[in-house]
A and B are shown apart, each in its own frame.
Chain A
C-alpha cells in the first residue's frame, strides 16, 4: 500500500469514527474497541437527554425560536432533527422552569457528545501515529 493510499484510508477511518460517534453516542469508542467506554457514554448521554425530554416534553427541541440551543442539541445525534420536526408539526408548548431545565439538559448532553466525538477521533488519530 502506498503512502497516499494509507493516508486516504486513515482519513476515511477518522471520518467513520466521527460520524458514527455522532449517529450513536459512544459508537466512536466501539469502533476503537473500547466497549466499556462506549457503553458508559451511550447510557449516560441517552439517559440524560431523555430526562431533559421527560421534564420539558419534545417541545424543547425548537429550531425556530431557540436556534442556539438547537445547535447544541443537534450534537447528540441526527435523530434530534427528526424529533425537532415532530415537535414543530405538533403543539407542544413549554415555558418556565421545565423549559429551562429541559434546554440545559438536552444541550449539555449534546456538548458532552461533541467532547466524546472529538476525543474518539483524536484517539483514532493517535493509534495511527503510534503504529507508524
Chain B
C-alpha cells in the first residue's frame, strides 16, 4: 500500500516533460472538452444521453474550429507583416 501511495504522490510531485513544439497545442483538446461538458451541463435542464452528447460535441467542434480559424488568421497576419 505504501508503494502505491508513494507512486501516486510522486506522480503529482514531479512535472511532466512537455516540449515547446506545435504538438503541445493538442493539450487544449481535453480542456475544451471539459469546458464543453460543464457548460452544457449547466445549460440543460435535463440530461438525456443522446441530446447531451450531441450538444457537447457541437460546442466542442465550434470552439476548436473558432480557435483554428483565429490561429490561422494570426499566422497569415504575422506572415504578411514579416515578409
Contacts and interface: CB of A to CB of B under 8 A. Distances in A.
B18 A92 contact: no
B18 A40 contact: no
Contacts of B39: 112, 115
Nearest to B41: A40
A54 B16 contact: yes
Interface string A54-98: 111111000000000000000000000000000000101010111
A41 B18 contact: no
B38 A112 contact: yes
Contacts, number: 74
A107 to B, nearest CB: 10
A90 B10 CA distance: 13
A92 B18 CA distance: 17
Interface string A35-52: 011001100110110010
Contacts of B11: 54
Main SS of chain B's interface residues?
A: helix
Contacts of A44: 34, 37-38, 41
A109 B32 CA distance: 11
B24 A57 contact: no
B41 A92 contact: no
A116 B43 CA distance: 10
B35 interface: yes
Interface string A101-118: 110110011001001100
Nearest to B43: A119
Interface in B8-35: 11-20, 24, 27, 30-31, 34-35
A98 B16 contact: yes
Given A102-B15, A119-B42, A97 B20 contact: yes
Given A112-B34, A115-B39, 9 more contacts: A36-B47, A37-B41, A40-B37, A41-B42, A54-B12, A57-B14, A97-B24, A102-B15, A105-B31
